[in-house]
Amino acid sequence: MNMGYSDNEFDVIVVGAGVMGSSTAYQLAKSGQKTLLLEQFDFLHHRGSSHGESRTIRATYPEDYYFGLVDESYRLWEQAQSEIGFKVYFKAQQFDMGPSDAKSLLSVIATCRKNAIPYQVLDHRQVAERFSGRIDIPEDWIGVSCELGGIIKPTKAVSMFQMLAFKNGACLKDNIKVVSINKDGDGGLKVAASNGEIFWGKKCVVTVGGWMRNLVKTVCGIELPIQPLETNVCYWRIKDGHEVKYAIGNDFPTFASYGHPYIYGTPSLEYPGLIKVAVHGGYQCNPDKRPWGPGLVPDSLKQWVEQRFKGKVDSSKPVMTQLCVYSMTPDEDFVIDFLGGEFGKDVVIGGGFSGHGFKMSPAIGRILADLALIGEAKGVELKQFRIARFEENPRGNIKEYEDQVKLLKSTL
C-alpha cells in the first residue's frame, strides 16, 4: 500500500494531525485515497486541543443540529475501536442541571424531545434519590438525566485514528509546518512547508485548530473569526471513603451545569481518587505565545464543587490542573466548509470547534473526507457551519440563550 509515496504526490493532503485531521486521514485512507497527514509539531503533542485524559460525549445539546453528528459519532467510535482492538470510549450516563428557567437547559429538553432521545427531568429530591446523595441541586433547579453520555480518552483516540490511517496506507509526517497552499498549473495544489519541502495534492483538508485563523489568512487573505482560548482543566480530590462512589462504572454520570459559569465534568477515571470539574471557558491567547497559566480557579467553581457534592469532594483547591486550547467562533458553532475563492472546492476547512467538538470527531472526519472527495457531505445539514454566516452577521448563528463558554479576563 505504501509504494510510491516518495514522489510527494497525493490524492488528499490533510494539514493538522489533532483529532479532526487524524480522523479525516483515517476516513480517506480507508476509502482508498493516497493520503498524507502533516503535523507541525510532534504527533500527540500537548500544545493544541486534542491531548489529555478525558473528554465527554453527550447527545444533550441546546442546539438540535448537533444530534446527528453525535449520534453518528457514537457508532463510529465503536467501529474504530473494533478495528484497532482497544477502547477509547467508556460509557456513562449524562446528567445536565441548572435553574429551572435556564433557557439553554430548556432547549436541551426540547432537543431531546425533537430527536426522540430518552430523558428524565428530575427535581431536587429526585436527583438526591437518583444519585444516592452524591449530587445535590438547589430546590429551584432541575436535572435532566439521559443514557447517552460517556468519556473519550483523547490522546489515545488521536493515536488510534493515526494508527488506523497508517494501517490503511496513509503517509504520516510530523514536525512539518505548512506555510503556504497554492494552486499549481495542473489543477492541483502545491503545499509548502517551512523546511523547504513541497507536497502536491489534488485536494487539501485544513484542520489546524488554534492556528486556523493565521494559516487561512496567509493562504487566501480571509480572516476567519476563530479566537484561541487557553482553558484550565481542574482535578479535585474525592474525600476518603467516597472515591468509589464517584468512579466511572458506578452509575455516576458525565455532567454539565447550566449557570454562570457553565461547569462540566466527568466521573473519576484517569486519576484514581480525583474527579474532573472545570469551567467551560478561558483566556484569549496567541497559540504561538501561550501564557501557559497560571490557570485561575474562580471561587464560583470551588463553591459549585462544595455544594453540588455535599462536601464529599475537597473544594479548597484542585490538586492538579492541565491546560488546553479552545478555538472559539462568535456563536460557538463549527466552521466546516470549502475555502472557496480561487480554491473552489479543492480546499476544505474544519475548525472553530469551540471546546465541544472532540466527541463528534469521527463524524466530522467522515464529513471532511466526503467534502474533499465528492464535494458534498451525505446525510448531514452543514448550513450552520458555513464561513459565509459571519458575513451575514458577525455574531454568526442567532441563538435564544446565553453563551456557554465564559471569556475570563486575565489579571496578569
CATH, residue 240: 3.30.9.10
Let me know whether 241 and 317 are in one domain: yes
Let me know whether 264 and 290 are in one domain: yes
Of 328, 357, 383, the residue at which a domain comes to its end is: 328
State residue 282 phi and psi, 5-degree precision.
175, -170
Of 328, 345, 362, the residue at which a domain comes to its end is: 328
Q: How many domains does the chain have?
A: 2
Let me know whether 346 and 315 are in one domain: no
In a domain, 79, yes or no: no
In a domain, 81, yes or no: no
Let me know whether 257 and 284 are in one domain: yes
**Given this model, what pLDDT does residue 358 score?**
98
265: CB partners within 8 A, 6+ apart = 254, 255, 275, 276, 277, 278
**If the chain, 412 residues long, is cut into consecutive pieces of 10 residues, what is the mean pLDDT of each piece?**
63 98 99 98 98 97 96 98 98 97 96 97 98 98 97 98 98 98 93 97 98 97 97 97 96 95 97 97 96 89 98 97 97 98 97 98 98 96 97 93 66 39
Of 302, 328, 354, the residue at which a domain comes to its end is: 328
**Cα–Cα nearest to 155, from 5, 32, 42:** 42
DSSP state of 401: S
Let me know whether 176 and 132 are in one domain: no
320: CB partners within 8 A, 6+ apart = 234, 235, 271, 274
In a domain, 65, yes or no: no
214: CB partners within 8 A, 6+ apart = 287
Residue matched to cell numbers 480546499: 347
Let me know whether 293 and 238 are in one domain: yes
Let me know whether 324 and 395 are in one domain: no
Let me know whether 243 and 267 are in one domain: yes
In a domain, 385, yes or no: yes
Let me know whether 309 and 274 are in one domain: yes
In a domain, 168, yes or no: yes
**Given this model, what pLDDT does residue 409 score?**
61
**C-alpha to C-alpha distance for 16 and 302, rounded to whole angstroms:** 36
Let me know whether 253 and 318 are in one domain: yes
Does residue 120 sit in helix, strand or coil?
Answer: strand
**C-alpha to C-alpha distance for 347 and 371, rounded to whole angstroms:** 9
The boundaries of the domain holding residue 401 are 9-50+155-225+331-407
**Cα–Cα nearest to 268, from 216, 313, 331:** 313
